[in-house]
Each structure stands twice: as C-alpha cells, then as structure tokens.
Amino acid sequence: MRVALTGRGGFTGRFVAAALLRQGVECVPIEANLCDRHAVERAVGEADFDRIIHLAASAFVGTADWRGFYEVNQLGTQTLLDAVARARPGARCILASSAQVYGPGAEGLIAEDAPTRPANHYAISKLAMEQGAALWGDRLEIVVTRPFNYTGIGQGGEYLLPKIVNHFRRRADVIELGNTWVKRDFGDVRAVADAYAGLVLTDAPPALTNIATGIVWSIDEILAILSDLSGHRPEIRVNPAFVRANDVAVLGGDAYRLRAALPGWAPRDLSNTLAWMYAGDSDRD
C-alpha cells in the first residue's frame, strides 16, 4: 500500500506520515501549489500511490486573506480531485474538512448529522469543498473528515493552547484570555494522525466522520493542569477583546462514527498532551 499525502510538511502532515510508517505504509508526498492546475496534474501524474490523504489547506481563521480560503480549500481541492480521478480512478480520498462547518448555535457534543451553519470564510470554504467533492463520488471514494480542535508540538503560536503553554514555559507573570469557563473538545495531533491513517487503511470507512475526542475541557481546567505541571501560577486576566459574545458553554464532537470505524483507536488524555507540549520534546510519543 502506498498512500499519497498533501500537506506533508505542515503541522499535521508530519505526524500523519509517521503514523503511516508505523502501519508499514509508504507515504508519498504530493508537493504542488494547489492553485496551479498544471503543477497539481504533474505531481499527481508522476506519483505512484493507491490512496490519498489531503491535508493541505489555508487554515488560520484569523488571516486577512479571505480569498485564499476559496482558492486553496475549495478550488484547489477540486483541482486535486480532478487530477486524481484521471490518474487513479476509484482511489480512496481522505479529505480534511473542519468542525467549523457546524457554525455558531451548536452546543453539546455535535454529531455528523447536525445542521451546518458556517460563519466565516474558512468554514464556508471547507463546506464548499465538501459539497464539490461529492461531485467526484462516481469516480473516487470520497471520505470527508471534520476535525475538532487539536493541538501538539509544532502548532503555531497563534493558536490558543500553544499560546497558553508558551506563557507557562516562559513563566510569564500574566496571561490574557477570553472566557475561561467555556468547555471545548481538544484533541492530540498524534491521535488525529492515527485516525487519518486508520481511515485510509480500514476496509469500509464512513463517508463523513468527525475526528474528535468526545470529551470537553474548560480553559480553567487547562490552566490548572499547566500550573500543576510547571509549579507556576500566573495571574489570569480576562481581556474584553478576546471575549466572544454569546459564547456557548459546551462544544465538542460526537466521536461515535470514528470509534465504530476504528475500534482500536482512542483519543489521548489532554493532560498527556499538555505535558508533552510543556516538555517540548518532539520525539516523545
């Protein structure tokens, strides 16, 4: 089995490549600008693979380049699927969408049949990617994943948990945050990578599945874990600029489909993830 992978050099991609290697699968990186049709066609045509995991995306919601979301996530994915359909008809394509397609108003543990109400350009581009990908379903085996929040070593400092961990590692006197009482689903990139590897290899994956832990943690609980790990207790200040109006109290993912498809898969405890990130040992499993 040879599995192609876009986004191999990204935060998630290197962990997915390692997860595939542990399964005895050869990972074949697809390196091409998704906005360049000819480059994509050439890269796909020259690669020898059986199935593909598509992670490459424009992902940081806070970026001002809203056009990039559509050019990369929506149109770029269609370009990739077109090339794969011609080069490897019938191939399984695992696509990374996002739990953000569920949008505001959702609360509790969200299942895949929940309504979609994307509320930003990133989320809209991901839902458009899903809808467009369905049009390739007669030529490819399309599997759409909706990952909830996940983190780990190597994630950018603009994201919440790496930002908080970095404050503890620097022993900062003050951390400014938004609502700390809200509870969210925070996964570990290593478990997410195992889920992608499992879905690309299993006999009959669901056509649509959340990648989630099904467990929610408050920011206050995360701060307490890091305080215990570090022995450091910074002052926590609520910055009104970081507070979201009408923030829902509990928001996480229902992981039933994923667990049913991959009986051997399990999320990692967030305490383990935070300890790994605080230690900063990228080789620690």
**Domain segments of the chain as ranges:** 2-153+186-215+251-269
Which pLDDT score, from 0 to 100, does residue 248 have? 78
Q: What pLDDT does 243 receive?
A: 83
Q: In this predicted structure, what is the pLDDT of residue 128?
A: 97
pLDDT of 114: 96
Mean pLDDT of successive 10-residue segments in the chain (285 residues)?
A: 96 97 96 96 97 89 79 96 98 96 87 94 95 97 97 93 96 94 95 98 97 96 97 94 79 96 96 96 58
Tell me, what's the pLDDT at 49? 98
What pLDDT does residue 65 have?
Answer: 79
Two tokens, residue 129: 């990617």
- Residue pair 182/251 in contact (Cβ under 8 Å)? The answer is yes
- Please state which CATH class domain 2-153+186-215+251-269 belongs to: alpha beta
Token readout for 175 is 């951390």
3-state DSSP of 131-197: HHHHHHCCCCEEEEEEECCEECCCCCCCCHHHHHHHHHHCCCCEEEECCCCCEECCEEHHHHHHHHH
DSSP per-residue letters across the chain: -EEEEESTTSHHHHHHHHHHHHTT-EEEEE---TT-HHHHHHHHHH---SEEEE------TT-S-HHHIIIIIIIIHHHHHHHHHHHSTT-EEEEE--GGGG-TT--EEE-TTSPP---SHHHHHHHHHHHHHGGGTTTSEEEEEEE--EE-TT--TTSHHHHHHHHHHTT-SEEEES-SS-EE--EEHHHHHHHHHHHHHSSS--SEEEE--S--EEHHHHHHHHHHHHS--PEEEE-GGGPPTT--SEEEE--HHHHHH-TT--PPPHHHHHHHHHHT-TT--
Predicted TM-score of the model (pTM): 0.94
Per-residue model confidence (pLDDT) at position 106: 77
What pLDDT, on the 0 to 100 scale, is given for residue 62?
Answer: 61
Length of the chain: 285
Largest CA distance in the chain: 57
pLDDT of 107 reads: 84
